[in-house]
Amino acid sequence: MLHRRQRIPHNLIFYVLVMLYLWLVVEPRLIYQCFGTILPDAPVFLTGWSFMSNSLHLPGGFILYISGLLSQGFCYSWLGALIIILSALCLCELSRRHLAAAGYTRSAVLSSLPAILIVLIYSQYKHPLTVCLVVSLGLVWSLIFERLSLRTLVVRIIVYCLMSAVLFGLAGAGGLLIFSFMTVIYGIFVRRDFVFSALAIPVGFGIVWCFAQYVFLVLPRETFTVLTSLVPATIQGKNTFPAVLIIILYGFAPLCVFLVLLGRNVFAKFGPKPKKHSGKDKQKEQAREFTSIFRNGVKIAAPIVLMLVGLYFSYNRMRKPLIQAHDYSLRRQWDKVLELSRSLPKGASNIYFNHYVNRALYHTERLPYDMFTFPQTPHGLLLTHEKKASDLTQLKLCDIYMELGRVNTAERLATEILTARNHCGIVVEKLAWINIIKEQYETARIYLNVLQKDLVYRKRAQALLKAIDNGFSTDQKAYLDTIRSRMHQEGYLGTRDESVEQILTELLASNPTNRMAFEYLMACYLLTGQVDKIAARMAQIREFDYDGIPTLYEEALLIYFGSQGRKIDFNKSNIRRETFNRYIRFIQLRNSMRPDNRQVVLRSLISEYGSSYFFYSTFGQVGVL
């Protein structure tokens, strides 16, 4: 009784610390923003009987439905952290009960390992909630079956088949796999029922096959992987660490119970016989009580230390900032994107971060001035780095194509995402906006009525429906007017083989006052070193309200004139003398570089010109000390 009372505060301290870490550091709200794109296979949830009925008619549909419902809570970080903690606590308690049933009573530290695994997975910004529920339900089924008094083999098989059929409908092949393995382990080591143990796995496979063929009407090979560690959602991407942790999460309880029971059987056969207690043994027992405080401290500290070690070795400084940048871009908080990018390690970036930064620079009117203050790559402008666009790429392209004026292309991309994912709140909202921009209000209503069934996007859908009926706000009208003024007049759909230059050139030909298309086209020329085309576009600057020639365009012009050997007429070119003097100084420094002083000169160039186009055009990268 004393041990049971002591276990509560030990676990409480650990789970409170985990709760705070998840809430304040991981921030489940950021995970919610990844649903449908960075996490394309996150569970979906809609209100209404139709969605519930469709879910429950799928293998594992019950778990997917519950998981989707609980996942909506991740839009609030505190609620998401609470949901994670409760699911982890449930899985740990079930693991402890199975270990106790196997005869291992001192499992306070060992049974906390599933919670540690779950925290490590969420720290990678993955979403294993469905896995937790599947494994938990499989373990519950196993506990129920082992407590039933089933004396004959036939009765055990009948009950096992019925329970397996129900479990497969609720938790898919993943839950049934856990249940089958636990049943076999207990059958071999506890009940010594080898015939039943030999039949359990084949019977489970037979049930899955029958359900696939005659109930769900799907291919058996697809049904055998439903909600298992073989699901593509758990193994996608280059980072295999979360996938390995998920596989361990599936196998943790069966493996631990198997090893405990195997150890007990081996020890019973070959181990020493227990000695009778003597008076001295009682004295030793009394002496051990003095060490209870130390042992309790170890029980409290061990899970925390294990979690910290795991977090240390799996830490990636770029992981959370990338998710945060994605979140800021969805909220159009461009200043925060730039602030975040400045806090990164020097030179650290990736394609998507570069894309977010360039959009932020445009929206803060700094793209022609500060573009090379941040790491750059030509693929970052319109995300041309993938042969087959991912869901995240399609969503980001949908955003930027809408802003550029290729609304039909944006609609095609959003429709492709929605077709593949069945439902994604942010994509449904974009399709509603696209139809509002095109003044197809009845089609927009259809999307907004669907969006009202989304718990998180419901209020936004209702607000847009009211706006359609009663008129848009000043900000909404300004946004609609901006996009409509940029729309490609021919309603051009676009193809996947177009170059960035071709896309932007056609937009400018359609609307010469499209500032975003102009600045992105000039950025494309800067990144690809086409300074001659920048010079050819200088006359078009008059269409926009720049205060003189933007700095980066000036620098590109000087490089172009220098390559042509032309003298600069400051009156005609409008290039500032201070920019010209900086160019002369750069050339002098660059020409002074020799093998013996290369590092010294390079440091001077980076210090003075690292964020200039002079440096980028010479060295092919942004200068970073």
CATH code assigned at 480: 1.25.40
Do 189 and 247 lie in one domain? The reply is yes
Angle between helices 391-404 and 515-528 (to 10 degrees): 120
In a domain, residue 542? The reply is: yes
In a domain, residue 179? The reply is: yes
Q: What is the pTM (predicted TM-score) of this model?
A: 0.89
In a domain, residue 504? The reply is: no
* CB within 8 Å of 320: residues ≥ 6 apart: 26, 30, 125
266 has pLDDT over 90:
no
DSSP state of 519: H
Q: How confident is the model at residue 336 (pLDDT cuts 50, 70, 90)?
A: very high
Do 238 and 119 lie in one domain? The reply is yes
Q: How far apart are the C-alpha atoms of 105 and 101, rounded to whole Å?
A: 8
Do 58 and 139 lie in one domain? The reply is yes
User: Of 454, 486, 518, which closes a domain?
Assistant: 486
Do 86 and 8 lie in one domain? The reply is yes
Task: Point out which residues pair with 35 in neighbouring strands.
Answer: 39
State the residue for tokens 């994107």. Answer: 337
Across 167-171, 262-266, 578-582, least confident range = 262-266
In a domain, residue 11? The reply is: yes
Do 343 and 210 lie in one domain? The reply is no
pLDDT at residue 3 in the model? 43
Do 438 and 541 lie in one domain? The reply is no
Q: How far apart are the C-alpha atoms of 413 and 423, rounded to whole Å?
A: 14
Do 477 and 593 lie in one domain? The reply is no
In a domain, residue 294? The reply is: no
pLDDT at residue 387 in the model? 86
pLDDT at residue 212 in the model? 75
Q: How far apart are the C-alpha atoms of 494 and 384, rounded to whole Å?
A: 14
State the chain's mean pLDDT as an integer: 87
67 has pLDDT over 90:
yes
Task: List the structure tokens of 518.
Answer: 């102009």
Do 241 and 371 lie in one domain? The reply is no
Do 230 and 332 lie in one domain? The reply is no
User: Of 458, 486, 514, which closes a domain?
Assistant: 486
User: Which phi and psi (to 5°) does residue 216 adopt?
Assistant: -90, -15
For the chain, how many structural domains are there in total?
3
Q: How far apart are the C-alpha atoms of 318 and 619, rounded to whole Å?
A: 25
In a domain, residue 508? The reply is: no
Q: How far apart are the C-alpha atoms of 170 and 277, rounded to whole Å?
A: 51
pLDDT at residue 35 in the model? 92
Which residues constitute the domain of residue 47? 2-268
In a domain, residue 282? The reply is: no
User: Which is more confidently placed, 291 or 247?
Assistant: 247
Do 472 and 535 lie in one domain? The reply is no
pLDDT in tens, 560-604: 998 888 787 777 778 899 999 999 999 999 999 888 888 999 999
Do 173 and 260 lie in one domain? The reply is yes
In a domain, residue 308? The reply is: no
User: Of 430, 454, 486, which closes a domain?
Assistant: 486
495 has pLDDT over 60:
no
Q: How confident is the model at residue 459 (pLDDT cuts 50, 70, 90)?
A: very high
236 has pLDDT over 50:
no
DSSP state of 546: -
Average pLDDT on 363-392 reads 92
Do 555 and 413 lie in one domain? The reply is no
Q: How far apart are the C-alpha atoms of 549 and 539, rounded to whole Å?
A: 11
Task: Point out which residues pair with 39 in neighbouring strands.
Answer: 35
The answer to whether 259 and 113 are in contact (CB under 8 A) is no
